[in-house]
Amino acid sequence: MIETGTDSYRLAITRARAEAPAKAG
């Protein structure tokens, strides 16, 4: 199921951006 993997990956990115948007950008 690619949906599950994508959801987890997307969630990780969202958290990373929320924690340190400066590092993400």
Residue 16 contacts residue 24 (beta carbons within 8 Å): yes
Q: What is the pTM of this model?
A: 0.44
- Cα–Cα distance list, 12 to 19, 21 (Å): 11, 13
Tracing tokens 């948007």 back to the chain, one arrives at 21
Q: HEC profile for the chain? A: CHHHHHHHHHHHHHHHHHHCHHHHC
How is residue 4 written in tokens? 């599950």
Tens digits of residue pLDDT in 1-25: 566 778 888 888 888 888 776 665 5
**pLDDT value at position 15?**
87
